[in-house]
Amino acid sequence: MSRILTLSSQVQACCPTNAEPAIARETASEISGMLKALADPNRLQILAIISSSEDQEVCVCDLTEPLNLTQPTVSHHLAKMVSAGILEKQKRGTWSWYRLNSSAWQELAGFFQFTKV
Amino acid sequence: MSRILTLSSQVQACCPTNAEPAIARETASEISGMLKALADPNRLQILAIISSSEDQEVCVCDLTEPLNLTQPTVSHHLAKMVSAGILEKQKRGTWSWYRLNSSAWQELAGFFQFTKV
DNA sequence: ACCTTCTATCGATAAACGTCTATTTATAAT
DNA sequence: ATTATAAATAGACGTTTATCGATAGAAGGT
C-alpha cells in the first residue's frame, strides 16, 4: 500500500490499489435491489405487521389503517416488495394475501452475517 | 379477524384490525435510514472493499478506481453512510479514513435475525 | 344483471437521489 | 510563500421515488 511508503516516494501518490471489486457486481445489484425495496419505514412496518400476524400474512386492507396510508400507496409498497422478491403474493377470492419470501429473507440475513465487521 | 366472519356479517367489511404498529415508528425510521444508505450497488462494494482490506479501512482515493466513480461521488457515498451511522470517519493528515461502525452493523444483523420468517 | 368490496393501474406532483464538473478547504512538502 | 495532493462542498441535471386522487378490473352476494 503506497500510503505507507509515502515518505520514501518522491511523488506522494495515494493509491496504486489492488483495484479488485471484492464482490461481484451482480451480487451487489441483487442485494441492493432487495435493500432498496426495504429501505422505507412504512415497508418495515408492513413486515413487522406480517410477522406479528396470526397467519403470517396480510391483505392490503389490513395495512391502510395502521400505516395511515391510502390503499393505492399500500398496494404500491407491496408490489415493490414482491417484485424485489421479498414478499410473495397469493390471490384468494377478492383478497390478495402477502407473506414473506423466506428464502429471500435468509439471503439477506446471510449477507449481514457473512459480511462481518 | 373479520375476514373469517365475512359470511355472518351483513356488511362484509374487511378489516377491523388490531391496528397496532407492531414496531416503534422510531425504530423503523432508524433502521430504514441505515438500509437506505446501503441500498446501492456502489455502496455495497465500498463495504466489501473495506472488509477485504488489510486494515479494515479505506480512504476515498482507494475507491474511485475500482468503482469507476469520480472523487466527489465517492465522497458523497461515504458521507451518506457516515451520516446514517454505518461508517465512521477519522481524519489523519490529508487522508480521511473510513471504517465500519460495528455496533450499527450488529444492529442491522440483529434486525434480520430477530425479524424471523 | 346489478351493486358492493378489494385491489391494481394511471397520471400527476414534489422530494430525494446519483452523478458529474468546478471550486474550495485542509494538510503537507519544498 | 508556493506548490501539490486529498477531500469536501456547491451547483446542476436527469432519474427515481413516495404519495395522492381518480379510475378500472375482478370477484362475490343479492
Specify if A50 maps to a domain.
Answer: yes
A4, A29, A35, best to mutate vs chain B, most B CBs in 10 Å: A35
Query: What pLDDT score was predicted for residue B1?
Result: 29
Map residue A33 onto helix, strand or coil: helix
Specify if A4 maps to a domain.
Answer: no
Query: What pLDDT score was predicted for residue B115?
Result: 56
Query: What pLDDT score was predicted for residue A42?
Result: 98
Query: What pLDDT score was predicted for residue B72?
Result: 98
Query: What pLDDT score was predicted for residue B69?
Result: 98
Query: What pLDDT score was predicted for residue B3?
Result: 35
Q: List beta partners, residue A88.
A: A99
Distance between CA atoms of residues A83 and A89, nearest Å: 10
Query: What pLDDT score was predicted for residue A7?
Result: 22
Q: Do A117 and B95 touch (CB under 8 A)?
A: no
Distance between CA atoms of residues A60 and A42, nearest Å: 13
A87 and A71 in contact (C-beta within 8 Å)? no
Instruction: Please give the grid coordinates belonging to residue B33.
Output: 435510514
In chain A, residues with a C-beta closer than 8 Å to the C-beta of B51 are 22, 115-117
- Residues of B58-78 as b/e, b for ≥16 C-beta within 10 angstroms? bbbbbbbebbebeeeebeebb
Q: Do B39 and A17 touch (CB under 8 A)?
A: no
Specify if A36 maps to a domain.
Answer: yes
If phi over 0 gives left and psi between -120 and 50 gives alpha, with beta otherwise, what is residue A9?
A: beta
Residue B44's CATH number: 1.10.10.10
Specify if A58 maps to a domain.
Answer: yes
Q: List beta partners, residue A9.
A: none
Q: Do B44 and A62 touch (CB under 8 A)?
A: no
Query: What pLDDT score was predicted for residue A24?
Result: 75
Per-residue pLDDT of chain B (117 residues; tens, 9 = 90+): 233 222 222 234 455 444 455 577 888 999 999 999 999 999 999 999 999 999 999 999 999 999 999 999 999 999 999 999 999 999 999 999 999 999 999 999 999 886 554
- A113 — pLDDT class (breaks 50, 70, 90): confident
Pairing verdict, β A95-100 and B95-100: unpaired
CA distance B14 to chain A (A): 7
Specify if A13 maps to a domain.
Answer: no
Which residues form the domain of A100? 26-114
Number of separate domains in chain A: 1
Nearest nucleotide to A43, CA against C1' atoms: D18
Chain A contact present for B35, CB below 8 A? yes
Specify if A21 maps to a domain.
Answer: no
- A116 — pLDDT class (breaks 50, 70, 90): low
CA distance B75 to chain A (A): 16
